[in-house]
Amino acid sequence: MTTAKPGDTVKVHYSGTLADGTSFDSSRDQEPLEFTIGKGTMLPDFEEAILGMREGEQKIITIPCENAFGEHDAAMNLEVPRSTIDVGAELLVGTQLRAQGPEGETASFTIVALDEENVIVDGNHPLAGHDLTYHLELVRIEPSASPAPPPQRLC
């Protein structure tokens, strides 16, 4: 039976939980996640876990925060005047905001505190500081179109 290898496109069902059991993401009620192993679109530890799996195989992995979205960095908390935030809606703790930098780059922030004049936003990824546990099921392997190189002969 075929196992997943670099270059293969795979379809994976997953459920992601934090150490306290809180669910942060799942593909179970939708189409499985599809990606090509080795393209760098997934966390490296996630891709590594899929390597060698067979269709229908399941496993549970835990990715430490330093290999996922990093430690939570308090320096990423910023206090900004409420008047500089124009979102067209009421500002609430937990609201996700996007800001555009001078070069056109975008950044995401989460409101963590606010008062009448200021808003404190957290620029860390929402999963920073958390180890991530994934329940994985490899649904399908679509082998790479490029054949494996022929074995080399030593004379």
* Dihedral sign for Cα atoms in the order 64, 66, 68, 74: positive
- Give the 3-state secondary structure of residue 60: strand
- Residue 144: per-residue pLDDT: 85
Contact 108, 53 (CB under 8 A): no
- Residue 129: per-residue pLDDT: 97
- Residue 142: per-residue pLDDT: 95
- Residue 94: per-residue pLDDT: 92
Neighbouring C-beta atoms of residue 101, cutoff 10 Å: 8
- Over its C-alpha atoms, the chain yields an Rg (Å, rounded) of 21
Neighbouring C-beta atoms of residue 111, cutoff 10 Å: 18
- Residue 63: per-residue pLDDT: 98
Nearest C-alpha neighbor of 82 from the set 41, 46, 115: 115
* Phi/psi at 45 (5° precision): -65, -30
- Residue 1: per-residue pLDDT: 75
Domain ranges of the chain: 9-69+128-142, 74-122
Residue numbers of the chain with a pLDDT score lower than 70: 146-155
- Residue 102: per-residue pLDDT: 86
CA gap 6, 141 in Å, rounded: 11
CATH assignment of 9-69+128-142, among 3.40.50.12280, 1.10.357.10, 3.40.50.1100, 3.10.50.40: 3.10.50.40
We find that the CATH architecture of domain 74-122 is Beta Barrel (2.40)
- Residue 45: per-residue pLDDT: 97
Q: Which residues contact 115 (CB under 8 A, 6 or more apart)?
A: none
- Residue 152: per-residue pLDDT: 61
- Residue 149: per-residue pLDDT: 54
